[in-house]
């Protein structure tokens, strides 16, 4: 004799004949979801049978229901033509909808700008008759229904209905006074002690379930967090600032001449409008004098006020040198921010990407300190073999490139540049020298750590790829 859950008992008690699951739910006072769930259990116990039927249902639009009383616009157009009314007497709907259909049906034509009746419509206009039939729950011809759907007067949907039927003799196989299974231990049961005699439903731990997908940070965000932790452990403070900068901070404060090729549209995204030059006139005068003394020509405040999407986070370093590094106290700052370059996108280049920026402001700093900072940073990041090579950058001297050895590829890969800010950069901004500085790639080392060949992969909307990636 099968043991029943309390919901199963309710279903059996109200199921005297074939009924839809919704009807059973209403009679038993049980949610439809529970009826559908326990119906499968009752079917396995041989007490009921189930049947799934798909039924097509046709619904009328509000516009179609209005036509039931007013008639179709084309019918009204014919009546107006038969009464000798001018086109101007027609409503907007009759002109836009009714006239094209009336003319297509051959009911009217236009002569000298006036309506003229032609063939008389059939007594029962097929689309109107179809609307009446649908309203009464009757079937309609497929070709007429297609016209209604095309005119968005009717729409069809498929409804799936589950029917439950009792199996003959099933009631005799169920004990009339058996205790119902309990699937929830309540506070009232604990207080009253009724739980001691209750029959609790057993959990089927072998039932198949969907394996949940755990939440995971995108690897770029995970690496940003790791880099932030590394620099904070090394005693650095984080720099923050806007991605839209004036050319003054992005170029001029960094001693890039105003006719430098890097300022061209080929490399820079210029924005509409003008940025503001610093309110400190002395700073602007110092930068102006440095440019004119060293590069020659006349420095233009108009050029310096052009707005750009920053091409490097070094614009942040310039601002922090001016705003936070006056005096003699040593300072160490870093930033991880988006930068923008107007260049073609391929497997190793992006128009926007992250740059890892850093500066050390201390008169006692040396070039060896710069190498030591970079080596320690990359060691903490997981790269043991680091190489430095001489290079050139407009605002550092001496300058170097940082490369790391990637064992899987058996080759050295360049990841960024560094150097000591030229006196023409740091002295006008904060009156200090030397200032160690670097700008490093974020995506490239991440590609190495994850054995990836295309930098664009990071920015594709592919949740499956992200789930499979190891978070470091």
Output the CA–CA distances (angstroms, integers) from residue 83 to 93, 96, 122, in the order listed: 18, 20, 18
Assign 107 a pLDDT band (cuts: 50, 70, 90).
very high
Of 340, 38, 304, 293, nearest to 164 by C-alpha is: 38
In 345-422, DSSP assigns E strands to 352-361, 386-393, 396-406, 411-421
Domain with CATH 1.10.10.10 in the chain: 6-59+159-200
* Mean pLDDT across 381-388: 88
Domain at 220-468, CATH from 3.20.20.70, 3.30.930.10, 3.40.50.300, 3.50.50.60:
3.30.930.10
Burial class of residue 408, CB neighbours in 10 A (0-12, 13-18, 19+) = exposed
pLDDT at residue 180, as a whole number: 58
Residue 450 has pLDDT above 80, yes or no: no
> What is the token pair recorded at 81?
């033509």
Angle formed at CA 287 by CA 282 and CA 290, multiple of 5 degrees: 120
Is 7 within 8 Å of 34 (Cβ atoms)?
yes
Residue 210 has pLDDT above 60, yes or no: yes
Strands 352-361 and 331-340: antiparallel
Domain with CATH 3.30.930.10 in the chain: 220-468
Do you know the residue count of the chain?
Answer: 472
**Residue 405 three-state SS:** strand
pTM for the model stands at: 0.55
Within 10 A of 410 (CB to CB), how many other CB atoms are there?
Answer: 7
Q: Which tens digit of pLDDT belongs to each residue from 59-71?
A: 888 898 899 888 8
Q: Which tens digit of pLDDT belongs to each residue from 358-379?
A: 999 999 999 999 999 999 999 9
Within 10 A of 20 (CB to CB), how many other CB atoms are there?
Answer: 16
Q: Which tens digit of pLDDT belongs to each residue from 310-347?
A: 999 999 999 999 999 998 999 999 999 999 988 778 77
Domain at 6-59+159-200, CATH from 1.10.10.10, 1.10.8.590, 1.10.150.170, 1.20.1510.10:
1.10.10.10
């Amino acid at each position: 004799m099968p043991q029943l859950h309390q919901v199963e008992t309710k279903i059996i008690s109200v199921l005297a004949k074939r009924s839809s699951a919704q009807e059973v739910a209403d009679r038993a006072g049980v949610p439809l979801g529970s009826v559908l769930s326990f119906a499968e259990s009752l079917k396995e116990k041989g007490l009921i049978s189930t049947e799934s039927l798909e039924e097509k249902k046709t619904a009328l639009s509000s516009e179609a229901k209005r036509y039931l009383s007013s008639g179709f616009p084309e019918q009204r157009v014919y009546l107006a033509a038969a009464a000798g009314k001018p086109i101007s007497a027609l409503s907007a709907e009759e002109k836009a909808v009714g006239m094209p259909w009336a003319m297509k049906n051959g009911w009217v034509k236009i002569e000298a700008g006036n309506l003229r009746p032609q063939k008389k419509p059939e007594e029962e206009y097929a689309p109107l008759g179809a609307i009446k039939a649908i309203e009464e729950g009757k079937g309609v011809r497929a070709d007429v229904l297609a016209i209604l759907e095309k005119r968005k007067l009717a729409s069809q949907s498929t409804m799936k209905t589950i029917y439950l039927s009792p199996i003959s003799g099933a009631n005799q196989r169920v004990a009339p006074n058996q205790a119902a299974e309990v699937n929830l231990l309540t506070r009232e049961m604990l207080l009253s002690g009724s739980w001691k005699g209750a029959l609790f439903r057993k959990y089927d731990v072998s039932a198949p379930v969907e394996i949940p997908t755990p939440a995971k940070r995108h690897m770029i965000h995970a690496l940003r967090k790791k880099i932030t932790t590394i620099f904070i452990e090394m005693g650095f403070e984080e720099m923050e600032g806007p991605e839209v900068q004036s050319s003054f901070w992005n170029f001029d404060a960094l001693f890039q001449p105003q006719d430098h090729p890097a300022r061209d549209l080929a490399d820079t995204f210029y924005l509409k409008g003008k940025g503001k030059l610093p309110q400190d006139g002395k700073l602007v005068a110092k930068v102006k004098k440095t440019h004119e003394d060293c590069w020659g020509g006349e420095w233009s405040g108009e050029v310096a006020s052009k707005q750009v999407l920053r091409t490097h986070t070094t614009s942040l370093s310039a601002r922090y040198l001016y705003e936070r590094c006056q005096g003699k106290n040593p300072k160490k700052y870093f930033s991880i921010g988006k930068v923008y370059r107007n260049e073609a996108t391929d497997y190793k280049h992006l128009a926007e990407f992250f740059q890892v920026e850093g500066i050390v402001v201390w008169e006692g700093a040396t070039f060896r300190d710069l190498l030591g900072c970079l080596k320690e940073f990359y060691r903490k990041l997981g790269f043991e073999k680091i190489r430095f090579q001489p290079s050139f950058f407009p605002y550092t001297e001496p300058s170097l490139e940082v490369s790391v050895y990637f064992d899987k590829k058996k080759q050295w890969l360049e990841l960024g540049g560094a150097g000591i800010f030229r006196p023409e950069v740091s002295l006008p901004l904060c009156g200090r020298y030397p200032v160690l500085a670097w700008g490093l790639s974020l995506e490239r080392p991440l590609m190495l750590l994850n054995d990836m060949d295309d930098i664009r992969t990071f920015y594709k909307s592919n949740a499956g790829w992200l789930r499979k990636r190891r978070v470091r």
